[in-house]
Amino acid sequence: MTSVTLTIAGSDSGGGAGIQADLKTFQELDTFGTSVLTAVTAQNTEGVHAVQPIQTDIVIAQLEAVLDDFTIGAAKTGMLFSSEIIEAVAETIRRYPAFPLVIDPVMIAKGGSSLLQQSAIDALKTHLIPLATLLTPNLPEAEVLTGVSIKTLADMEFAAQHLLKMGCKAVVMKGGHREEASFAEDLFMSAEGDSFLMKSKRIETKDTHGTGCTFAAAITAELSKGQTIADAVITAKHFIQAAIEDGLNLGNGHGPTNHAA
Ligand code: PLP
């Protein structure tokens, strides 16, 4: 039977990140993607030009429409923008039978535009992270969520423990922002005590727009097909590595990772 996946995220008109990246990835990995739009961004490969959040009652109406009708194999959240949207999404998800939930704590786009209001960070920690099967922060996001300054692998481990204490079942911390390293190290850690490092060669490319969204969407697709959290993360890591290696030189800025790689 076809697995149904769900993304709760923002639209990227440039098609490389957000809802568009998620749906393309869901499709590529043989799942049926559904979507709940939280915000519209006017965006291309060069940056974000404008952001308009969707009214919270319309966000929730979309979510209820999907959850009332489909059996969700797994879901992910991306750009949620405000504490009001975060609280309403968390409250709604809690009213339905549980499904694996990947939370990509999206905060800032590559060009520096804010995709999450400062006041929403506490809401993310209090309301959403405790519902997460897996949290997928990059290093700057992990630093904001934990207050830990992350320079070394030991710092990553310390911050991951801190995030697990917030109530998520597992964390994969993406090490790509540690620029001094010639390889990227991603750290997986679960509340059950599993942990491992995924090392990959750093790929020199400017075409990495949407990498985080695509990685979290690939994990979500694999979870929906019944993989364990750790196996879904490993499969998705191979997928994103190929997607970055095969990045698309489109537009004048950061081209998108290739969702069909
Ligand atoms: N736009 C939207 C709607 C997003 O959800 C995200 C990331 O999650 C981005 C932009 C950022 O994309 P990137 O930083 O990969 O360019």
Tell me the per-residue pLDDT of 212-251, one tens digit each, with 9 for 90 and over. 999 999 999 999 999 999 999 999 999 999 999 989 999 9
> Quick one: angle between helices 229-245 and 211-224, nearest 10?
140
Residue 92 appears among annotated catalytic residues: no
Residue with tokens 């998800």: 93
Q: Please identify, by atom number, the ligand 1 atom nearest to the C-alpha of residue 9.
A: 5
* Domain range list for the chain: 4-245
Residue nearest to atom 4 of ligand 1 (CA): 18
- Structure confidence at residue 182 (pLDDT): 75
Q: Has residue 205 got a pLDDT over 80?
A: yes
CB of 14 within 6 A of ligand 1: the answer is: no
Nearest to 93 by CA among 106, 108, 81, 80: 80
Tell me the per-residue pLDDT of 21-35, one tens digit each, with 9 for 90 and over. 999 999 999 999 999
pTM attached to this predicted model = 0.96
| Strand ranges for 101-161 from DSSP E | 101-103, 134-135
Arithmetic mean of pLDDT, 153-180: 92
What's the pLDDT band for 180 if we cut at 50, 70, 90? low
Distance 213 CA to ligand 1 centre (A): 7
What's the pLDDT band for 181 if we cut at 50, 70, 90? low
CB of 237 within 6 A of ligand 1: the answer is: no
Sheet strands side by side (includes 47-53): 47-53, 32-44, 4-12, 74-77, 101-103, 134-135, 170-173, 183-190, 195-201
Range 4-245 has CATH code 3.40.1190.20 = yes
CB of 217 within 6 A of ligand 1: the answer is: no
- Structure confidence at residue 258 (pLDDT): 83
Six-digit token string for 129 = 């992270």
